[in-house]
Chain A
Amino acid sequence: MRERVRLTRRALMLSGVSGGFLAAAGVRLTLDGSPACEAAVRRVLGAVSADWRGAGLVGRAYVEGEGLIDASLEHLLALMFPSSQLSDTVKLSAGDIRAMISERVRRDFSAGAVVSVDGWLLALTEARLYALAWRLGDWGRGATDA
């Protein structure tokens, strides 16, 4: 059995959860983990989080703590980027992506769409985004190096 992830404050802070934030970039993408899709998600994550490992840890804690039944890449992508949102992010600058995700996070908090991840109270949007970072762990490392 896998050990339960315990989130340190450091992981959380590095992930960018508590800081300025998130969001995404152009072309109509299929949410299937294809290279083009990967690249777009990487951009979103890169705009939002300074630390892929931290983000991935938060994401994993969320998936495991909540016991998400469907934590597949496709499902997470669909939840995170309904309709053509991921495609739209391609046209946006990193700053705009951050602003977009920040706004989504703010709206989540206002609407009470929150989730407790190892005790941290997070907006659903950020928890899902970090779950994506975890799912896309390999890309994540790539992005930090970039």
Chain B
Amino acid sequence: MIIDARTVPEGTVVETEVCIIGAGAAGITLAREFMGAGFRVALLESGGLDFDEGTQDLYVGGTAGRPYLRLNVCRLRYFGGTTNHWAGWCVPFDEADFAEREGLSYRGWPMSRSDLAPYYERALAVCQVGHTGFEPGAWGIALKDIPGPFNGPRFVTKVLQVSPPTRFGRVYGEQLRKAPRLSVYLNANVLTLDANRSGREVREVKVGTLGGNRFRVRARVFVLASGGIENARLLLLSGQGLGNAHDLVGRFFMVHLEYSGGVIAVSDPYANFDFNRTYADKPIVSYVGLSDAAMRELKLANIRLTWEYELGSVSEALAALKRLSGEGTKESDTWSDLGTVLGDLDGVSAYVFRRALFGQGVPVKALTLRCHSEQVPNPVSRIRLGSELDALGQRRVVVDWRVTGEDKRQVNAIHQLLGTEMGRAGFGRLRSALTKDETQWPSDLRGNEHHMGTTRMHRDPQFGVVDENARVHGVGNLYVAGSSVFPTSGAANPTLTIVALALRLADHIKERMA
């Protein structure tokens, strides 16, 4: 059943058994798992079925520290959440991401990749990804086609799979609407989670709508699934800060770092570099990353490296076009002129295409490197409450995003390894865009839309907001779903792992409710 919360009479107390806050990837996955489980579920969603400016404005926030994306642009506040515009890139975290690593602080998950493997498999189906293989071989990329040093042991070629992309609200909304004992409340903004006197149980949540009415929802179990930033905001807005006995809520805010990594001058300009590319005919992207062994042994953070061919500049292309239309062109010039033009028209020109048109291929002048790297967990990087209020009278959020010298040392070490490995294997030479200076980054550095870490998971309450079951330490009936529980950020896009963890949490809650 779908209920417009604006029609719920002021002061109503809704009684349910499991209350989920937020209907994005995490919340909808949980709700689906509870369909037919025999208990009542209320799914409270801030937005309606479509985008609405007034609701989206509740996501406006400030930034302190490093400039960061506008908070009402890098997430969406309506049914389906940010999956209403996600790109659908799906890949599990690497084994090394889960491991504790000597000498690196705040690392390690209270589970391994193999613990999560069955949930990853189920998560792929939820994200409408039909194929379970993440090995390049499973997609016809043979090891023999991958040149050194990208076939191990330090760097390897990896594959991520692309979801249609699943718009969770649109795809699963109808199912939820029809499910017995499940009520979806739209336009229902949770304002606070109110604990009992001891603070050890959440008794109810207060809900407000932009229409002005207020009501409460009581349940046995609550799950916060309102996104990587909002989960922390709601805990901070509740009482003195629910689950915040150790001042960890909102801390360890991480995103993935994206920047131009430099240029690779290649040894063989006629080689096939297509082992690292996007595909038109397969729902995958192949890329280069560190092997698990390299990350473990060399204590390196995770990274994703992609590249683009550089075949010629715009001005060279124009000059070439002119020459081609003129007289007296030498044959050898014609080949390279066509190559230049093709490069500019196409941007990324696949090897097969290059060869089909030009026989021996168009030489690649260089590969330009794009990096997508892990941020080191850092308690100073955080989200907190600001002084401005939103339309519901709630304090807006302020993101104080930090990038540290440790982040820079890590990527510098990876680039040094990449440069030496490419030289050793005879692949080419790297001109890294990174300087040694630990405070300096390429000018196009940006933190992306993957919000992680603000309610991190750790068995010990001194290091984590939630325990290994995603239950808030010290609060018996409150769980958190979403990337805010990630203790580390890896280099993987977060949603597949969000869904896998939500499935795992659903199993746990079903067991608890039985």
Contact = CB atoms under 8 A, between A and B. Distances in A.
B423 A121 contact: yes
Interface string A89-110: 0000000000000100110111
Contacts of A121: 416, 419-420, 423, 429-432
28 contacts: A9-B263, A9-B366, A9-B431, A12-B265, A12-B429, A13-B265, A13-B365, A13-B366, A17-B429, A18-B266, A19-B267, A106-B423, A106-B424, A108-B423, A109-B421, A109-B423, A110-B420, A114-B423, A116-B432, A119-B262, A120-B265, A120-B429, A120-B430, A121-B416, A121-B420, A121-B429, A121-B430, A122-B423
A106 B426 contact: yes
Nearest to B427: A18
The 10 closest A-B pairs by CB, nearest first: A121-B419, A18-B265, A109-B423, A109-B424, A119-B431, A18-B429, A120-B431, A18-B428, A109-B420, A110-B424
A26 interface: no
A105 B429 CA distance: 12
A131 interface: no
Contacts of B423: 105-106, 108-109, 114, 121-123
A112 B420 contact: yes
Contacts of A112: 420
Contacts of B366: 9, 13
A114 B423 CA distance: 9
Contacts of B416: 114, 121
Given A114-B419, A122-B429, 5 more contacts: A9-B431, A108-B423, A114-B416, A120-B429, A121-B423
Contacts of A12: 265, 429, 431
B508 to A, nearest CB: 48
Interface majority SS (helix, strand, loop, mixed), chain A: mixed
Contacts of B419: 114, 121
Contacts, number: 59
Most buried by B among A19, A106, A108, A112: A19
Interface residues of B, number: 21
Interface in B439-493: none
A17 B366 CA distance: 13
Contacts of B424: 106, 109-110
A127 to B, nearest CB: 11
Contacts of B431: 9, 12, 118-121
Contacts of B429: 12, 17-18, 120-122
B265 to A, nearest CB: 4
Most buried by A among B262, B365, B426, B428: B426
Contacts of B268: 19
Interface in B332-374: 365-366
A132 to B, nearest CB: 18
Interface in B306-352: none
Given A9-B366, A120-B429, A121-B429, A17 B420 contact: no
Interface string B401-440: 0000000000000001001110110101111110000000
Contact of A119 (B421, B426, B428, B432): B432
Contacts of A114: 416, 419-420, 423
A3 B137 CA distance: 51
